[in-house]
């Protein structure tokens, strides 16, 4: 919802405000990546209660990379088996499998994990095209964390859409899990 609101504001925003709004959309995307990773981890390893696992701090880059590898290599049916979900989560698994370039989001996830605010800096490096900007922050040790992203209005819309897609996939997985828990032992 935050990414969509920022996207709506982006249309009428001035140049400086656009950079801030793009940064906000990127932060929301990074958070949705980390939340999807948390849902995946909680469902995949049920040695602890799913709800208790979801209360832990959000996963970081290493866990995100494992989840992206999982999403890119397994069929939707294999995903459901590995996550212990029924067919009601098949659409979510298919949508996750069809997401292109999840590894391209590593920089945003790393910046979010570091706890740094994302700032959009146009033309951060002179050898980059002028339309490409960089999200930049500083981690807890003072080291720079940088992720590339084009800052055109269409690109911001694509980021907001991806944010919504990843959030919807996580909700679909959790919804299927909760439905199976509510109906366990009862005819459906």
Tens digit of each residue's pLDDT (9 = 90 or more) over 65-124: 999 999 999 999 999 999 999 999 999 999 999 998 888 888 888 878 877 655 554 443
| pLDDT given at position 110 | 84
Q: Which helix (H) or strand (E) holds 23?
A: helix 15-44
Average pLDDT of the residues of the chain: 78
3-class secondary structure, 81: helix
Question: Does 159 have pLDDT greater than 70?
Answer: yes
Question: Does 130 have pLDDT greater than 80?
Answer: no
Give CA–CA dist 50/42, Å, rounded: 5
CA 180 vs. chain centroid, Å, equals 25
Question: Does 172 have pLDDT greater than 90?
Answer: yes
3-class secondary structure, 133: strand
Question: Does 126 have pLDDT greater than 50?
Answer: no
| This model's pTM is above 0.85 | no
């Amino acid at each position: 919802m935050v990414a969509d609101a920022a996207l709506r504001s982006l249309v009428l925003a001035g140049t400086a405000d656009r950079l801030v709004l793009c940064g906000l959309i990127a932060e929301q995307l990074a958070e949705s990546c980390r939340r999807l990773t948390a849902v995946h981890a909680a469902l995949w390893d049920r040695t602890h209660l799913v709800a208790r696992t979801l209360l832990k701090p959000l996963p970081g880059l290493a866990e995100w990379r494992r989840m992206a590898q999982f999403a890119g290599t397994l069929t939707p049916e294999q995903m459901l088996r590995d996550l212990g979900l029924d067919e009601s989560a098949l659409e979510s698994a298919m949508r996750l499998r069809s997401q292109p370039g999840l590894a391209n989001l590593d920089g945003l996830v790393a910046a979010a994990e570091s706890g740094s605010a994302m700032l959009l800096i146009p033309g951060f490096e002179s050898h980059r095209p002028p339309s490409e900007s960089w999200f930049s922050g500083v981690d807890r040790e003072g080291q720079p964390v940088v992720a590339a992203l084009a800052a055109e209005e269409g690109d911001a819309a694509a980021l907001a859409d991806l944010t919504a897609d990843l959030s919807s996939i996580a909700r679909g997985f959790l919804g299927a899990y909760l439905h199976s828990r509510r109906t366990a032992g009862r005819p459906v």
